[in-house]
Homo-oligomer: A and B are copies of this chain.
Amino acid sequence: MDFQTEFKPLTVQPQEIEEKSFDIITEEFGPHDYPEEQYKVVQRVIHASADFELGRSLVFHPDAVRAGIEAIRQGRPVIADVQMVQVGISKPRLEKFGGDVRVYISDPDVMQEAKRLNTTRAIIATRKAAREAEGAIYAIGNAPTALLELIRMVKAGEARPGLIIGVPVGFVSAAESKEELLKLDIPFITNIGRKGGSPVAVATVNALSLMAEKLG
């Protein structure tokens, strides 16, 4: 590639770059069985990761996309497990419906309580979120312990999430925590395997809020 030619795209606007990217993704992804609304999430996850394998590993509870859109339109908060997820999520579309993005993992009371109980901050942050935010969307991209705690609380009737986006990345407990999520019969979006991460959680929430916005 010639560097001078490459200079032309510099004035391409982000919106055009995104559209071109989505065309490439659709072309290379080929035929699939995802319903249209689920595919919008898959597409945006591939856009954020450039990883088709990761895109194909996504699994949706049949009610997940509808529940996510509804939670956003009701102004329910999005709970991020870490700050990287919080800052990545596009806020204006959530705020339009009265929603916001919260992260509890660095709250002083969470840090103190985790130390006292000799457990992870992610677990204590999940408990705090469940107390404060009924019907929320949980966007978990990093901490398997947050996802496992949320699953435990759902089973115990201590948490009632609107949607669980459970896509922690990693080698210890990440894949296993997703297997547990798959057994729940409440709205969830997850993926099979070790991959995942903040950009996947972010892309999923952003795809949902775009669909929520389109409904007007």
Contacts and interface: CB of A to CB of B under 8 A. Distances in A.
Interface string A71-88: 000000000000110111
Contacts of A88: 83-84, 198
Given A3-B180, A169-B48, A198 B195 contact: no
Interface in A109-135: 118-120, 123
B11 A172 contact: no
Contacts of A198: 84, 88, 198-199
A151 B7 CA distance: 11
A51 B176 CA distance: 17
A31 interface: no
Interface in A4-54: 6-7, 9-14, 17, 20-21, 24-25, 47-51
Contacts of A12: 172
A172 B148 CA distance: 37
B25 A119 contact: no
A21 B171 contact: yes
A197 B49 contact: yes
Nearest to A54: B51
A125 to B, nearest CB: 13
B195 A119 contact: no
19 contacts: A3-B151, A3-B152, A3-B180, A6-B176, A10-B119, A10-B145, A11-B119, A12-B172, A20-B172, A21-B171, A24-B172, A25-B171, A47-B170, A50-B169, A50-B194, A87-B87, A88-B198, A197-B199, A198-B198
Given A11-B118, A50-B174, 14 more contacts: A1-B179, A3-B152, A3-B180, A6-B148, A6-B180, A9-B172, A10-B123, A13-B120, A17-B172, A21-B170, A24-B171, A49-B197, A51-B51, A84-B88
